[in-house]
Amino acid sequence: MSWCNRRTLLLSPLALAACGFTPVYGPQGGGTALQNAVLLPKPNNEAAYYFNRRFEERMGRAGPGAPYSLSLILQTDDQGIGSTSGGNTTRYRLIGRAFFGLVDTGTGQTRFEGRTNAFTGYSTTGSTVATRAAETDAVERLMTLLADQVIDDLLLSGVTPS
């Protein structure tokens, strides 16, 4: 490593601090403001359950008096992408979208809105049981991706308590 590269590496934290960069989980970061503070809608299907589980793994579970609630619409779509010469579909792409809003429960005001999407796939070449297990696993992976993206968007939005 040349001296110039070391100097750049050592001075880059100073440049970030000068531009107003704050770590998300630092003392003034938005991550700590949202920890255990976002009430999720009750899951009404398997996908929403997986989404909520992942969200709570990362952000904690909020109680009834939480300062924020999450408005959430989840959409999923199956798309056949592989087939045999006989016309049987052998692979599916599962596409998911999450439309969300962070609502201040005290005022009812939406503090942040966003949308994210992701996809995953699964194979249908095994038995019926194996296909169902693959589909369930794909739904769980998709909801994990969407929950992580929603959390990242919320953390990067810079929402702080009012």
The confidence score (pLDDT) of residue 58 equals 95
Render pLDDT for 48-79 as a digit per residue (tens, 0 to 9).
999 999 999 999 999 889 999 999 999 999 99
**Closest C-alpha to 47, from 10, 89, 76, 22:** 76
CA distance 106 to 109: 8
pLDDT given at position 19:
60
Q: Where are the domains of the chain?
A: 44-157
pLDDT class of 125 with cuts at 50, 70, 90: confident
pLDDT at residue 122, as a whole number: 94
Please check the confidence at residue 1 and state whether its pLDDT lies above 90.
no
Q: Residue 59: its pLDDT value, please?
A: 95
Q: What is the pTM of this model?
A: 0.82
Give 7-56 pLDDT, tens digit per residue: 666 666 655 555 666 666 666 665 677 899 999 999 999 999 999 999 99
The length of the chain is 162
Q: How far apart are CA 120 and CA 86, in angstroms?
A: 25
pLDDT of 52 reads 98
CATH top class, domain 44-157: alpha beta
Rounded CA gap, 156 and 158, in Å?
5
Quick one: average pLDDT of 148-162? 86
* pLDDT computed for residue 10 by the predictor: 62
Residue 102 pairs with which residues in a beta bridge? 70, 112
Sign of CA dihedral 134, 138, 139, 140: positive
Confidence at residue 84, expressed as pLDDT on a 0 to 100 scale: 84
Q: For residue 45, what is the DSSP state?
A: S
Q: Which residue, chain included where needed, has tokens 């579970």?
A: 61
Give the count of beta carbons closer than 10 Å to the beta carbon of residue 105.
16
